[in-house]
Amino acid sequence: MRQDGTGPRKPRIALIHRPKYDDWSLPKGKLLPGESPWRAALREVEEETGLRCRLIAPLPAQYYLANGRPKEVRYWAAVPVSGEFRPNREVDRMKWLKPGKARAKLTHDRDRELIDALLLQLAETGDGPPQVGGG
């Protein structure tokens, strides 16, 4: 698949390693006041990975407790259009993996559900976006 999201290449999932939590997860973050979830997803993915992306389609939202507080995270399938990964304070490593390897590498079971949702969406639409990100 080319960077513009077209072509026959199989999807790849961008996983990030967060040293603060020592986990492998999908890019995600917090909304700024007045920010829409889709704008937050684009901003957070770029902040964490250095990649500017085009959102393709929404994926299921996740709801869970973080430090005892309820959290909602909305995710999208996305395609990078420019940029390159550079380690930063929040994310020290990033790997592009095939879906099966991504599922195995993820630390949290809830993130595996997003890989499944992405694959189901790809099967239904015939698209092949290589990344999942949330805000």
Mean of pLDDT values over 28-37: 94
Q: How far is CA 88 from CA 1, 22, 46, 133, in A?
A: 27, 14, 11, 17
Residue 81 main-chain phi, psi, to 5 deg: -115, -20
Q: Of 3.10.290.10, 3.40.980.10, 3.90.79.10, 1.10.10.10, which CATH number belongs to 13-134?
A: 3.90.79.10
Mean of pLDDT values over 38-65: 95
What's the pTM? 0.83
* Extents of the domains making up the chain: 13-134
Q: How far is CA 97 from CA 6, 15, 117, in A?
A: 18, 8, 16
* Kind of pairing between the strands at 23-25 and 13-18: antiparallel
Measured between alpha carbons, how far is 105 from 126 in angstroms, rounded to an integer?
25
Output 124 or 8, whichever has higher pLDDT: 124
Mind listing the pLDDT tens digit for each residue in 91-130? 999 999 999 999 999 999 999 999 999 999 888 876 554 4
Nearest CA among 122, 108, 85 for reference residue 8: 122
**pLDDT higher than threshold 80 for residue 87:** yes
* Whole-number pLDDT of residue 1: 33
Q: Is the CB of residue 40 less than 8 Å from the CB of residue 30?
A: yes
Measured between alpha carbons, how far is 29 from 102 in angstroms, rounded to an integer?
20
Output 40 or 125, whichever has higher pLDDT: 40
**pLDDT higher than threshold 50 for residue 46:** yes
Measured between alpha carbons, how far is 43 from 27 in angstroms, rounded to an integer?
10
* Whole-number pLDDT of residue 131: 52
